Amino acid sequence: MAEDVRTSKEDIKTIREHVARAKAYSGRLDVLKTLDALVDALELFTVTQIVGREKFEISILIDEVLRTLAAMPQLKALFPNGASLAKGQEKQMLARLAAIRDRIRTAIEKAEYEKTYAYKVSIDQALIEAMRLAQEGQTDQARVAFRKAADRFVSEPGLLQDVGARMIRCGMVQESVEYLEQAIKTDPKDPRPYGHLVMALEGLGEVEKALEITKDALRNFGPNDRTYTIMARLHLKLKQWDEAFDMASAALDLNPFAKEAQKIADKVKPRIFSKTADGKVQDKKTYTFNL
């Protein structure tokens, strides 16, 4: 019995807290949160044994919030005569408020989806137009269009790397570097811009800088055969034979079927290893990583 009394007191305390929240939200004219709190209160109110003065006081508090709720501009049409908590009608009021809340929530979610969809479409349209200008040879206009898109949708996650990647596809490799560098600075843990930036820098002949970006990617995201292979290729371009072999070997350790890594290893072996008496290149396995 003592346990029942304790639980009942806790439930009454919780109901009062829900009603207090509802009152606070109604004061801010926040319809949805007011409904959420009222529904929470009534759900517990309808299944809790409350009698006497306690029940009377809570009913008065709920009534007060209901009157404020019914007077809100968004709900006046649904409560033309106001709203109150009639004795014995608590469950009916709960069902009505829950239904109204669900309808409003669905409408809000739909509106938010439509707004988000329209926003995404406008981003795509802006970038597609910039690409069209670039593909038609109107490079200056394309540069301006990409800049406007980046400035207008600056808060969109991943936009800068998307702009940079599209610029590369349009042949605006030099221009892409700025956006890709900014993308990495904005979110160093997004792996996407690293690959595009390395591709752009390598294409521009800035191999040492491309190598540094690849090392950053390796530090941030850990080893994988593709990153090691890219590093091997860059070291090869710099004629750093030992490093190229070590990176290619590291890639092959992770993926024995990495064809590009195998080609690089085979190409640099004769430059760094002596041959045996029968003409075979001696093998070794000493990685000289310098990250």
Are residues 252 and 166 part of one domain? Answer: no
Q: Do 126 and 69 belong together in one domain?
A: no
Q: Would you say residue 108 lies in a domain?
A: no
In angstroms, the CA 64 to CA 19 distance is 10
Same domain assignment for residues 203 and 131: yes
Whether 34 contacts 26, CB under 8 Å: yes
Give the CATH number, domain containing residue 147: 1.25.40.10
Per-residue pLDDT of the chain (291 residues; tens, 9 = 90+): 444 433 478 888 898 899 899 989 888 888 889 999 999 999 988 888 877 888 888 888 888 888 888 888 888 888 877 887 788 888 898 999 999 999 999 998 999 999 989 999 999 999 999 999 999 999 999 999 999 999 999 889 999 999 999 999 999 999 999 999 999 999 999 999 999 999 999 999 999 999 999 999 999 999 999 999 999 999 999 999 999 999 999 999 999 999 999 999 999 988 887 655 555 555 554 445 555
Same domain, 44 and 78: yes
* One domain, residues 202 and 267: no
Q: Is there a single domain that holds both residue 17 and residue 56?
A: yes
DSSP state of 156: S
Contacts of 197 (CB under 8 A, 6+ apart): 164, 176, 177, 180, 181, 184, 210, 213
* Total count of domains within the chain: 3
Within this chain, do residues 10 and 75 fall inside the same structural domain, yes or no?
yes
**Do residues 51 and 122 both lie within one domain?**
no
Residue 150 C-beta-side C-alpha neighbours within 13 Å: 22
Same domain, 156 and 126: yes
Question: Where do we find the tokens 């080893």?
Answer: 223
Last residue of a domain, one of 183, 211, 239: 211
User: 74: domain range?
Assistant: 2-85
Tell me if 52 is assigned to some domain: yes
Last residue of a domain, one of 190, 211, 232: 211
159 token code pair: 């936009």
Has residue 92 been placed in a domain?
no
- Do 196 and 126 share a structural domain? yes
Buried b (16+ CB within 10 A) or exposed e, 240-268: bbebbbbbbbbbbeeeeebeebbebbeeb
Report the sign of the C-alpha dihedral through residues 249, 254, 257, 259, in that order.
negative
Asked if residue 206 and residue 120 are part of one domain, the reply reads yes
- Asked if 28 and 62 sit in the same domain, the reply is yes
Q: Is residue 269 part of a domain?
A: yes
| C-alpha torsion angle, residues 25, 26, 32, 35 (rounded to 10) | 100
